[in-house]
Structure 1
Amino acid sequence: MNKNEFVQKVCSAAAYRLGERYQVAVSGAGESNGVRMHRLLVRHRYQEVTFAVYLNECWKYYESGMPFPQVMNRVMDICRCLEQIGDADIDYFKSFEKVKDRICYRLIGRKEDREWLESVPHIDFLDLKVFFYYVFQAGNQGEVEVQIKKTHMGMWETTSEELFELAKVNTPKLFPWKYCNILDMIYGDMELESDICDEGETDNLDDGIPRMWVLTNRSYQYGATCILYPEVLAKLAEKGQSYYILPSSVHECIFTKCEDEPERDSFKSMVEDVNRYQVPADEVLSYSVYFYDASERKIRLLT
């Protein structure tokens, strides 16, 4: 059983053990080189709390010889622990002062469920939307997320704009950005951080490496949000080079220099093909192509 088969088997077994009251899914599965941090996502059908179990360590236990039923017992123990943390966090969730330092944002496409969008505070960004959530990270076992609703915003007497300003500070701290050439993503082991072009290390953006690079975060989950981080896009254009941004998925964006003008028309079809054939429907970010103008320090939507 390979890693992806293991992750899917864990998902099925967890859904069976937890029962119909819970929705169970996998995030980050499907990469042949195991780059992503595989997570088991569990959400009670009648609550706004989602907890995520990190499965990479569980895979290591299985790979070292631990029987699958015993691995599942560990997974379920972590689920129960995270659910208790989530329940405890809800008790003080009413206090804006207690939660404001862990309010983060995330990018989604505008074609999300309209009824859901009406229930959550959000801000428009080009043809995308920014929404907000509270996150509690439980060491290397997992994390608990609470979707921020308009009812929370009313209880806290705050605004979408204030949530955005808080998330703009918190998200880069909790989920730092990472930048690499695309071959490290496809063929390399990014967990070793070999040849990674990380924060403050943009000297190797010149020719001599592949023309495409990937922007994500260090958890490889919802890393496309990094295009919102203050000064990141300007940092990546510090040599005065404008570039195109291709939304590979909600987890990452692909960058390519605008000197490749003849290829511009092919970018949109490239994004469409990736979304249609390689990205799960719930991980598609956008079918659009974006352009960052280094001279104007501004990102815009290409029509």
Structure 2
Amino acid sequence: MCLGLRKMNFLRTVVALGILVAVQARVNVRRPLCESAEAEEAAVAAQDFLNAQHTHGYKYVLNRIEDIKVYSMPEGESYVLEIDLLETYCHVLDPTPLANCTARPKHLTAVEGDCDVVLKRVGGILTVTAFKCKTEVSKEDICLGCPSLLPLNDTAAVDFVETSLGTFNNITANETFVLLEVGRLSSQLLSGGHFYTVEYIVVEANCTDDPCTPSNDVTARGLCIAKGSNARHSVDCKMFATLVKHTADAVSPPAVHAHTGSLSRKQGLKHHSLTSRHDPELTGLLSAESAESAEIVPVAPASPVPTAVDLRSKMAVKDEIMLSCIFIV
């Protein structure tokens, strides 16, 4: 009976090895150069997809391609990318094309996205099937005395947002705007006290009733940037529809009537993060480094991709040195 068990175990081992060899024969791993047109195409597709999932805060632009692997199988090709993204000055509601959006410099407290993305090429078109992103403030080039980010629900900074919005409403006599979202709050300690720089989204509102009712018209929205203190400040607003700028300087501005229902949902959050995760079946393909939470987001279904077991088997056999390449936007 022991001999029978040994034979069964031997047969299982042979079958398992046969399956592994068959998988390896079917999977071919390529490592295109990070600066190649193929890598750039996949990275741009990933960038655009991640921005489409990002509904608050600012657009992100591709900064660097860290690594790329292409798995070729009879069913098609799958791309596994590691990319870095940088937060831009363009809000997600701003219709400005991403190509025209400028990344924030690191010395002004840049926010970076570190993402691993899996894409499937279907009919010549690349489709994202899984991703993980970690969004954090860049630790590079932070200078002593430079402005620092504040939590998006910081009481004093939000009070300054409301005050500056009151100033803006005071110069737009025929229109009233209310707060839609706080985008960014920062503070710098100067000799006269705290100097705030805040960015927020406003929307035109109907104020015949109290409180004002924000308009559902997406063309009636804009980005305001205010600088200074409650007592003395400037506010500059760019409306997305007309791209017309209104500028005002104020001393002791009037009270503001603002809607603050869309402030940060997370206590202490200093920036709007990219959607952190979508990988219901392909977790094994993505590095743990970029995993920020267990949040799962719905993504439009794509064609089936090779299983994680298939690709991990090949990756274990062919463990190559990671490439680190720079992609300049």
TM-score, scaled relative to structure 2: 0.22
Structure number with higher relative contact order (C-alpha < 8 Å, ≥ 6 residues apart)? 2
Structure with more strand by fraction = 2
Length-normalised TM-score, structure 1: 0.24
Larger radius of gyration: 2
Which is helix-richer, 1 or 2? 1
